[in-house]
């Protein structure tokens, strides 16, 4: 039975949760902007619990992916997102489901926030028929409505994102495209070509650099003469915020989306974040940085812990509520894992299906000299 103190605490949480709590001191660096996002953000109890649930689900899902990879159930490339959850949760809180999003190969978090279930994501990682790409996309190639992947070529998604923004402008639908890339891709020439075209045509594109401090095994200081990624657009306005704080990310992304919808053209955001795992599962992540560095970030700047402590200190939720959410998420991930390890692999006859989205039967040549496979959409 709950103690009387716990019952009173829960009652206070529910009462306090009716109103928003204002958090001040949000910092933002600006480039070519007279004004930036607000320095304070309001958070309701419902919003806080929703953000916590989203980030904790992504965290548990990625830790399970780590376990399955080490068991050799997941094979091939696998880039995990744990540590960067506030970026995905904050951006998603600021845009509409009808807006568009494209990212690089560290895509599991955005696949989830774009509406794909944990079950479908883990099944895709294990190459099963019930995966979001029917087991044929793997870690780097997941898609959903208004979500264009998971792209394996470094920086290649940036011009694609500019093209999606051009489509939004052409259709006049008041939508924006969030185009994400990492600090490792920030020196790619195609980024600057995309900046130029987006600025000339005033495309509604939010270019977002998720600066997690390391491109593969190279620190940003060793890879870039200028690490002010939010200024890299030169003639494009930019802003830089703490990517470990979900409220900072939300406010900045809301500001950026409003900027684009007002017809002012593109904007660049730099989210200063951190990945806990190595670049990919083949990278132990401690040859170019110390375990102490990773532990310090975990202890001082973890996005989930920061949000939880904020809510607890303002009586917006109780410890028991967070525990209940954690138990529920762990069960959800375990159930998804059971499905992802028992669902059958796609049969050979489906190997070439869905090459095109809407086409008649197509014979696929060269897959096997003794059989002709057909593709159906």
SS3 sequence, 208-226? EEEECCEECCEEHHHHCCC
Residue 111's pLDDT is: 98
For residue 4, being part of any structural domain is answered with no
Q: What is the pLDDT of residues 292-333, one digit of tens each?
A: 999 999 999 999 999 999 999 999 999 999 999 999 999 999
Same domain, 212 and 307: yes
Location of structure tokens 């070509």: 193
For residue 9, being part of any structural domain is answered with no
Residue 362's pLDDT is: 67
Same domain, 54 and 140: yes
94 beta partners: none
Q: What is the DSSP letter of 266?
A: -
Q: How far is CA 9 from CA 51, 52, 183, 306, in A?
A: 21, 19, 44, 20
Question: Among 310, 305, 249, which Cα is nearest to 82's?
Answer: 305
* 3-class DSSP assignment, residue 270: strand
Same domain, 311 and 361: no
Same domain, 362 and 272: no
**Residue 366 binned pLDDT confidence (cut-offs 50, 70, 90):** low
The CA-based angle 212-218-224, given to 5 degrees, is 80
Same domain, 121 and 157: yes
For residue 44, being part of any structural domain is answered with yes
Lowest model confidence (mean pLDDT) among 18-27, 196-205, 233-242, 272-281: 18-27
Give the mean model confidence (pLDDT) for residues 86-91.
Answer: 98
Cβ neighbors of 105 (< 8 A, separation 6 or more) are 77, 79, 139, 140, 150, 151, 152
Give the mean model confidence (pLDDT) for residues 258-264.
Answer: 98
For residue 222, being part of any structural domain is answered with yes
Same domain, 42 and 149: yes
Residue 17's pLDDT is: 44
Q: Is pLDDT at 5 greater than 80 in this prediction?
A: no
Residue 16's pLDDT is: 47
**Residue 105 binned pLDDT confidence (cut-offs 50, 70, 90):** very high
* 3-class DSSP assignment, residue 362: strand
Q: What is the DSSP letter of 144?
A: B
Element (H, E) at 31: strand 29-31
For residue 1, being part of any structural domain is answered with no
For residue 12, being part of any structural domain is answered with no
For residues 201, 160, 111 and 62, what is the CA-based torsion angle, rounded to 10 degrees? Answer: -120
Question: Among 123, 122, 114, which Cα is nearest to 64's?
Answer: 122
Q: What is the pLDDT of residues 7-66, one digit of tens each?
A: 444 554 455 445 899 999 999 999 999 999 999 999 999 999 999 999 999 999 999 999
CATH number, domain of 206, equals: 3.40.50.970
Give the mean model confidence (pLDDT) for residues 270-288.
Answer: 97
**Whole-angstrom distance, CA of residue 136 vs CA of residue 262:** 39
Which tokens is 117 given?
């279930």
Same domain, 268 and 359: no
Burial class (CB in 10 A: 0-12, 13-18, 19+), 226: exposed
Mean pLDDT, all residues of the chain: 93
**Whole-angstrom distance, CA of residue 291 vs CA of residue 278:** 11
Which tokens is 316 given?
């917006």
> 209 near 229, Cβ under 8 Å?
yes
For residue 14, being part of any structural domain is answered with no
Lowest model confidence (mean pLDDT) among 149-158, 263-272, 357-366: 357-366
Same domain, 309 and 322: yes
Same domain, 281 and 367: no
Which tokens is 85 given?
């959850």
Q: What does the DSSP assignment read for 250-308?
A: HHHHHHHHHHHHTT---EEEEEE---SS-SSTT--S-SSS-HHHHHHHHHHH-HHHHHH
**Residue range(s) defining the domain that contains residue 189:** 19-346
Residue 368's pLDDT is: 60
Same domain, 159 and 271: yes
Q: Is pLDDT at 146 greater than 90 in this prediction?
A: yes
Same domain, 112 and 212: yes
**Whole-angstrom distance, CA of residue 315 vs CA of residue 15:** 9
State the total domains in the chain: 2
> Rounded to the nearest 5°, which phi and psi values hold at 269?
-120, 140
Same domain, 327 and 372: no
> Rounded to the nearest 5°, which phi and psi values hold at 43?
-135, 125
């Amino acid at each position: 039975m709950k103690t009387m103190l716990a019952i009173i605490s829960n009652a206070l949480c529910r009462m306090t949760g009716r109103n928003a709590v204002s958090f001040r001191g949000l910092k933002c660096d600006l480039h070519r902007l007279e004004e930036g996002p607000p320095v304070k953000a309001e958070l309701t109890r419902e919003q806080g619990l929703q953000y916590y649930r989203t980030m904790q689900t992504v965290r548990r899902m990625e830790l399970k992916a780590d376990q399955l990879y080490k068991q050799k159930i997941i094979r091939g490339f696998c880039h995990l997102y744990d540590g960067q959850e506030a970026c995905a949760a904050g951006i998603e809180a600021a845009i509409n489901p009808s807006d568009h999003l494209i990212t690089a190969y560290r895509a599991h978090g955005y696949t989830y926030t774009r509406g794909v279930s944990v079950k479908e994501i883990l099944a895709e990682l294990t190459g099963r028929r019930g995966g979001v790409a029917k087991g044929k996309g793997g870690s780097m190639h997941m898609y959903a409505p208004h979500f264009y992947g998971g792209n394996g070529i470094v920086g290649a998604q940036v011009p694609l994102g500019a093209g999606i923004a051009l489509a939004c402008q052409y259709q006049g639908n008041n939508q924006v495209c969030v185009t994400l890339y990492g600090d490792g891709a920030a020196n790619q020439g195609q980024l600057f070509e995309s900046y130029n075209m987006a600025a000339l045509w005033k495309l509604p594109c939010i270019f977002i650099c998720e600066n997690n401090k390391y491109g593969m095994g190279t620190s940003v200081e060793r890879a870039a003469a200028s690490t002010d990624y939010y200024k890299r657009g030169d003639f494009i306005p930019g802003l830089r915020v703490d990517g470990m704080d979900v409220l900072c990310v939300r406010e900045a992304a809301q500001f950026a989306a409003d900027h684009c919808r007002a017809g002012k053209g593109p904007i660049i955001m730099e989210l200063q974040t951190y990945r806990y795992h190595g670049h990919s599962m083949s990278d132990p992540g401690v040859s170019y940085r110390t375990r102490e560095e990773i532990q310090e970030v975990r202890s001082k700047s973890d996005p989930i812990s920061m949000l939880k402590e904020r809510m607890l200190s303002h009586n917006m939720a109780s410890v028991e509520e967070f525990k209940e959410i954690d138990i529920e998420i762990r069960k959800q991930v375990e159930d998804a894992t059971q499905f992802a390890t028992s669902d059958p692999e796609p049969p050979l006859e489906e190997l070439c299906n869905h090459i095109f989205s809407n086409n008649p039967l197509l014979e696929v040549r060269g897959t096997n000299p003794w059989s002709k496979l057909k593709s159906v959409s």
